[in-house]
Each structure stands twice: as C-alpha cells, then as structure tokens.
Structure 1
Amino acid sequence: MQPTARRRLLVVLASLTVALLLSDLAGWSVADGVRRGGGLVLGPVQRVLSGAPRDELAAVEAENVRLRTTTAEQQHRLDELGRLEELLGSTATTGRTLVPARVVATDVSPLGGRSVTIDAGSRDGVRTDSTVVAADGLVGRVVAVSPWTSDVQVLGSAGSVVAVRVGPAGALGTVSPPVAGDSESRPRGSLRLALVVPSTPVVGDVVRTLGSVDEMPYAAGVVVGTVTAVDPDRGQPARGATVRPAIDPDAIDVVGVLVPTARTAPRPATRPTAPTTAPKAAPVRGKAR
C-alpha cells in the first residue's frame, strides 16, 4: 500500500474512533448504530493495516516452528550427553568396560515388573545375562539379544531374584519383588529384602549386588537400593526389610551394558611367609655403686 493511501486510512480510523468516543460519552441513541457501522468499516481496514501478506506470515510461522523443533532436538541431545557423562563417572562403571545404549521401548508385564528394549545388540558386543546399569545403580540384566537391540529384565520384575550384600558389614541376602501373601505391606515399586544370615538391617543401609561368576548375570558391588523400613521382630534370626530401588523404572533412558571380562589364566597362588621378629637385645645391667 502507498504511504499516501495508508495515511488516509489512518485519518479515517481516527475519525471513526473519535466519533465512537463522543457518542458513548454523550449517551446518544445512535451510538450502537455508529459502533456497528464502524465495525463494518474498521474490520477490512485493520486487516489491510495488520502488516505483511499472508504468505509472508505463513513463512515466518513455519520458520519459527522449525527453529523450536531444532532447539528441542539439540536440548534433548545435550541432556543425553549429560546422562552419559554421569554414567561414565558413576561407581557402577568405574574400572569396567561398557556399551552405552538408549532405551527405545518399554513393556509392563501383566504379572508385574517391567522390561525395556535398548538400541545395542550382539553386533555391539552385548550378550545374554549381561548386567545393565544406569548412573544411579542397577537396572537389570539382558534376557534376549538380537543383532541391533536387546531386551532387559528390569530389577523388580516378577521372578527376578538378586543376591546382595547389605550395609557396612556386607550381610548376605536376596532382594526380590513383593509376593502375594507377604506378611508386610510394602510401597509400590519397592523390593523385599531377605537376609540369609542372622542379622538385622538398619534403615539407610545401602544394598549392593553380591556378584556372579564372570560378572554374569550381575556384576559385584553395583548399588541396588537403600533400606527404607525393617520388618517387625517376629522371633526369626534374620529380619527382613523393604528396599527402595536406586533407579526409577519409569525414567530409565541412558544405560550401560557391562561387558564381562572372563579370566583366561588362573590366579597365581601365594604362600604367606611367617612374620620375622628381630632378636631382642639383652638388657644392660649397670654396676651398683
């Protein structure tokens, strides 16, 4: 639109606006008619003065959508890199070889528990019964492997039992999902700890994996969870307890599959030597004076 025509339209708009204000202030009966007429005139004029043509507005909106999508994708990648950095720096992976992976699917079993599919398989070095960890602790174990993906049974699934050590003393026990008929009521998603040696756990005790031969299916020393409640004393030599898992099964994303390192040579045998003690010096006796 030419500048002269735009100025004329602005004059018309200003005049109509002043007329509407005066009619409202004066309480004229024709105010409603003026307002309706002004709406009919102002509507097309406002659309003309609104700015760029429709095709330019559509292009700008499409570019904004593209930029927002790109920003969201970049932020997601940064979040994944941050979680991978946490995983590589965690105690669960220190001194171990692992295959990083992402969770690409999840499935909730009708019998309880959860399984996830990760984007790493046999071509990446993943094997059945490999330990799967996240930055905070144990996720589960690999139960099925294909060339490019693997299925993982998540800790707490029905039928899963993990041998553990509890607390600073390392008392032996097992953790498993609560079963029907359990004498204690446990929160949803928690685990049941059963000690196999006479001992009493303490709230706050850290529960870690006992470990398996060649670290399959569970590597040793991986955090399983924390004791949150101790079962009442019913005269049994070993008290049970409730354990809160270290990982949230609803938020598993970046994981690591621990690659087992089997021994290829026997451990060297050693023979302890008897401690040697230096001969005691004879006491020196002085002459009495």
Structure 2
Amino acid sequence: MAMREKRWRDRLEPVDRSSRSTLVALVLACATLITLDHVGGALDPARRAVGEFVGPAEDAANGVVAPFEAVPRWFHTRSSLEDRVTALKAENALLRQQVATTALDRNRLAEYDGLAATASTVRHTLVPAHVIAHGPAQSFSQTVTIDAGTAAGVHADLTVLNNDGLVGRVISATRSTATVLLLLDRDSVVGGRLGSSMEVGFLQGRGQLSGDATLDLKLLDGAFIANKGDTAVTFGSEDGAPYIAGVPIGKVTAVYSSPRETSRRVEIKPFVDFTALDLVGVAVPSGTRSDRGLVKPGQSAAKEAGR
C-alpha cells in the first residue's frame, strides 16, 4: 500500500512543478510588460500593429452587424412616428371643426341674446329649443320639429317665436320633441293688428316656404286702407293659447282691392326667415316645470346657454 502511494506521488510532483513554473513565468511576463509600458511606452508599436491588423476586421464586423442592430430601432421609430402622425391628424381635425363652427356658435349666441330680449318684450317665459327637422314636402303642410317636448314643459297650443318674431304654434308634443305648425301654412290663421292704427284682422299663410313668402291680412274694417311699411303684431288669444299678444309678425308690403271685393287684402312680409330657422322659444306659463333652463323676462339667455 505504501509502495503504491509513493508511485502516485512521484507521478504528480513533476506536473505540479511544471504548473508552478508556468504560473511564475506568466506573472513575471505581465509585470515586465506593465513596467515597460508605464516607463517608456515600449509597447506602442506592438499596439499599433495589433490595431492595424484587428481594426479593419472590427469595422467589417460592425458593417455586417449594424443593419441587424438597426432593425429593432427602425420598427420602434416607425411606430412612434405613426402614433405622432395619428395624433397630429386628430388635432388638425379638431382645429378645423372649431374653425368651421365658430360662425355657428357666434350666431347662436346672438340668437340667445335676441331670445332673452324677446322674452322681456312679450313678458313671457320661454323654453329654448332648436329646429331639428322640417315636415315632408309631400304632406303639403309647413311644419318643423323642435327638440323640446313635454319634459321641457311644451304641449299643444303654445306660441312659438324667435328673436325676429312669430314662428307658429305647437300642434303636438312627445316627451322630447314637438311639432310646430308654421305661420306660413295654409291652415295657419292668426289674429293680428296693425301697429299704427290698431286695426284688427286675420292673417293666413299661403303655404310657401321660400325667402319671398308672404301672408294675407284681411282687416275687419274693409274700408280701412293700410299703410305700406306698417307693422302687424298678434292681438292674442284667450289665456294666451295658441297665441300670446304683442308678438311681431311682419310688415305691410302691398294693399290690394277691387270693386267686387267687400274688403281689402293686405300683403304682409314676415319678419322671420323660415328658410333659416334654428333657435326658437316656446312661450309657457309662469311657473312651468322644465328639464332645461328657461329664458325669463330680464334674464340673460346667453348665460343660460353656457350652463
């Protein structure tokens, strides 16, 4: 047994001595190179030689690898640019919309102010509403639909007007909408009076909706001659239904008569432009409960519109 261990020890000792010698030689070589480099830069020529040999190889490797490294960056950059372009398109669309609606907003604000002044003039509370549809042409009736109904306090036989004058009257209502028979309809008959003389008569539409549409006024006093340019206003109904008193209707543009007629026919040009109806007000009794802001006499409608 002792003999065997001695033989193994004899075999390992030369290997251990060789490894230690190699390690010592490497340490001495490293120390020598560090000393030479620190003292006089003796290794600079060797460095340059290695750099001249290895540099082109590194450049070539970078040229091959760089396109592959750029692929992820390209996809990331492209995605970011697409997101940015999408955001800019949305922003531009919003700006274009704001520019396009500036005139509309300005006109509606002016209409709200006019409606407030009208509420004070007629001394009635108004439910503001917008015209959202016109009656079908094939029905041969002149009606519009507004976006206020019973929930807003609107019901049949209420006066509808805007900041220019009389629009018509409500003939039916649902919870959220109402149908308005326009002043121009053939079935529309309104009692009115001339402002300068207080003469009374009845105005009837001709069923036309064009910009030159007119009304016919038949005065109770057939001998009275109306003056061109005189103003016609409503003389009102009992309890203000369907028409309240004092709402401007239009002005006299012509007077027609003949020997066979027992009364003169007066032509009235309405103040309201029925081809451009938007904001209107429905006259409701004081104390009406509504799901929207009411325009009351002496109150700023523009303030209500901003709520």
Structure-2-length-normalised TM-score: 0.60
Alignment match, 2:92: 64
Alignment match, 2:244: 219
The percent of aligned pairs where both chains have the same amino acid is: 36
1:99 maps to a residue whose letter is V
Q: Does residue 125 of structure 2 align to residue 97 of structure 1?
A: yes
Alignment match, 2:299: none
2:110 maps to a residue whose letter is G
Distance change in 2, residues 1:195/1:91 (3 Å)? farther
Alignment match, 1:242: 267
Alignment match, 1:191: 215
More RCO (CA 8 Å, sep 6+): 2
Distance change in 2, residues 1:255/1:188 (3 Å)? same
1:144 deviates by 0.5
Computed over aligned residues only, the root mean square deviation of the Cα atoms, in angstroms, reads 2.8
Q: 1:136-161: per-residue Cα shift (whole Å, max 9, x none)?
A: 10000000011111110111112111
1:57 deviates by 4.8
1:135 deviates by 0.4
Alignment match, 2:293: none
Kindly report which structure 2 residues correspond to 1:23-172, keeping only aligned pairs within 5 A, or say none: 56-57=84-85, 59-73=87-101, 75-90=103-118, 93-110=121-138, 112-172=140-200
1:93 deviates by 4.6
1:192 maps to a residue whose letter is D
Q: Secondary structure at the match of 1:173?
A: strand
**Are the aligned partners of 1:92 and 1:221 in contact in 2 as well (CA < 8 Å)?**
no
1:77 deviates by 3.4
Number of residue pairs the alignment of both structures matches: 205
Gaps of 5+ in 2: 1-80, 288-307
1:243 deviates by 0.8
1:240 deviates by 0.9
**Are the aligned partners of 2:122 and 2:247 in contact in 1 as well (CA < 8 Å)?**
no
2:160 maps to a residue whose letter is V
**Are the aligned partners of 2:122 and 2:246 in contact in 1 as well (CA < 8 Å)?**
no
1:222 deviates by 0.7
Q: 1:27-77: per-residue Cα shift (whole Å, max 9, x none)?
A: xxxxxxxxxxxxxxxxxxxxxxxxxx6765554333211221134345533
Structure-1-length-normalised TM-score: 0.63
Q: Secondary structure at the match of 1:89?
A: helix
Q: Which has the larger helix fraction?
A: 2
Gaps of 5+ in 1: 1-52, 180-186, 263-289
Q: Secondary structure at the match of 2:118?
A: coil
**Are the aligned partners of 1:210 and 1:220 in contact in 2 as well (CA < 8 Å)?**
yes
Match among 191, 214, 228 for residue 253 of structure 2: 228
Q: Secondary structure at the match of 1:225?
A: strand
Alignment match, 1:36: none
1:166 deviates by 1.7
Instruction: Find the aligned partners of 1:204 and 1:109 in 2 and give their Cα distance.
Output: 32
**Are the aligned partners of 1:92 and 1:135 in contact in 2 as well (CA < 8 Å)?**
no
Which is greater in Rg?
2
Distance change in 2, residues 1:220/1:205 (3 Å)? same
Instruction: Find the aligned partners of 1:178 and 1:252 in 2 and give their Cα distance.
Output: 18
